[in-house]
Amino acid sequence: MLFHVLGRLEVRTTSGHPVALDDPLLRRLLLVLLHRGDQWTGVEHLADALWNRHPPPEAVDLITEAVRSLRRDLPVRVDGGCRIEDGRGGYRLRAARDEVDKSIFIDLAAIGARAMVRLDPATATTALRAALALWVPDALEGEDIPALTDEFTVLADARYAVRADLVEALHSLGAHTDSVPILSAMVAGRPARQPAWCHLVRALRRAGRPDEAIDAYLRACAALAEAGVEPGVELRTAHLATLTGQPDQSGQVAVGVQ
């Protein structure tokens, strides 16, 4: 893997050595090209993205020089071709799927989802854990590129969905304790989503941690109150089962459901 975008941008040579990209313009340009994948990106689009729709008069020259610098610094392609190609009034970055962590994440997520459909939670767990391990830390840290906001929203949703799939896979394996930190991250990131809170309460109870389950319920109620939402039937039932020590007979709503 040469290009890391699921975290602060990093580039490594084929031998694993980091590539220094200290110029903010180079970093922003590379991020935009990486997130565009194999698509051509026009110079005007790049200028708007890099300067948030207010490019300087010399934007084209600055982009041309930045591309020249990236071509010099980026690791060469296996086939010896140019890493950044020009044409159609713009540029595109050529990278194999196994060279970009974003592409690897998408592929692993798909493997995990297919395994869950096949009722193979063990295989799903392996693939989904590997997918989530690529996110260190949050994507786009230290970068301010409004043009990529929609792209990263899609990725953030995909990350949440992978976490939800992993929780369901772990619960199928009876690994409730292992699901707790994942569910904790889910409710921290999206505190108004009740299903994750519901599964966190259940996971803590089934892991033999009833006091923490009750605390999670109280935190859920506080978070939902801030959003103007009342605890639903599933969440209240999970809480009642914790208080009474009785089996939870409620329906199992999917973790990722709104």
pLDDT digits (tens, 9 = 90+) for 142-200: 577 899 999 989 999 999 999 999 999 999 999 999 999 999 999 999 999 999 999 99
pTM for the structure as a whole: 0.89
pLDDT of residue 258: 46
Q: What is the β-pairing status of strands 84-87 and 10-11?
A: unpaired
Of 14-18, 113-117, 126-130, 137-141, the poorest mean pLDDT is in 137-141
41: which strand partners? 91
pLDDT higher than 60, residue 14? yes
* Cis amide prior to 18 (ω within 30 degrees): no
pLDDT tens for 17-70 read: 999 999 999 999 999 999 999 999 999 999 999 999 999 999 999 999 999 999
State the amino acid at position 119 in one-letter form. L
What does the DSSP assignment read for 133-153?
Answer: HT--S-TTTT---GGGHHHHH
CB 12 within 8 A of CB 1: yes
Residue 32 to residues 144, 169, 171, 208, 210: CA-CA distances in angstroms?
A: 11, 34, 38, 47, 47
pLDDT tens for 55-93 read: 999 999 999 999 999 999 999 898 888 999 999 899 999
Rounded to an integer, what distance in angstroms lies between the CA atom of residue 74 and that of residue 84? 9
State the amino acid at position 86 in one-letter form. D
Residue 152 to residues 100, 148, 191, 212, 248: CA-CA distances in angstroms?
A: 15, 6, 19, 33, 37
Q: Which domains does the chain have, with CATH numbers?
A: 1-159 (1.10.10.10), 174-258 (1.25.40.10)
CB 4 within 8 A of CB 137: no
